[in-house]
Amino acid sequence: MVSGHAWLPSAAAGLSIPAAPKAASALAPNLRLHTISKRRDFLSTAAKGRKFVTQTFIVQTQQRDETHPAGKEARFGFTVTKKMGNAVIRNRIKRRLRAAAAQAALTHTQDRHDYVIISRQKALNCPFPDLLRDMQFAFLKIHTMKDEPKP
C-alpha cells in the first residue's frame, strides 16, 4: 500500500517555494507610456508644436484639443533614424529614451500633450543619469518656452 504522501515531490527534486515579488516592482509606479501610433500625429507635432534640442535628443510637443479621441494622458513617440546604426542599435537607443521618458514623465509632463523624442547619436553612449537629467530639463524647458510664430 502507498502512503498518502507518495505523490508529493521529494525535496531532492530541486523544487523550491516561489520567491516573493521583487521589492522594486512593488515600490515602482506604473511606468508604461501611452504611445503615438499614427504618422499624422508625428507630422502634426513636428509642424505645429514646440521644439527643444539637447545634445542627446530633440523633443517636440504639441497640446491636443479636448475633442481628440486619444484621451487626456500624455502620449510619446520615439524616432531613431537608420543613420544611428542597425536595428539592434536603434532598438537599444529607443529603450534608453523610453526608460528616461517614463521616469521624467511622472513629474515633468502635462496631460493632453503629444511628445515626440528624436534621437541624436550621443543618446547611445551617454550615461543614463545624464540622459535622465537631459530629459527632465527638456520637459521643463519646453513648457516654459514662449510661443514663437512659425514662418
Q: How big is the chain, counted in residues?
A: 151
C-alpha cell at 109: 509632463
* Residuewise pLDDT in 10s, the chain (151 residues): 555 555 545 544 544 444 444 433 333 455 678 888 889 989 998 999 999 999 999 999 998 877 677 677 889 999 999 999 999 999 999 999 999 999 988 888 888 889 999 999 999 999 999 999 999 999 999 888 766 555 5
Amino acid at the residue 73: E
- Under CATH, which number does the domain 33-144 receive? 3.30.230.10
Q: Domain locations in the chain?
A: 33-144
**pLDDT at residue number 111:** 83
State the Cα–Cα distance between residues 38 and 60, nearest whole angstrom.
15
Cα angle, residue 146 at apex, residues 114 and 78 outer, rounded to 5°: 25
pTM of the model: 0.73
Phi, psi at residue 9, to the nearest 5°?
A: -65, 145
**pLDDT at residue number 90:** 95
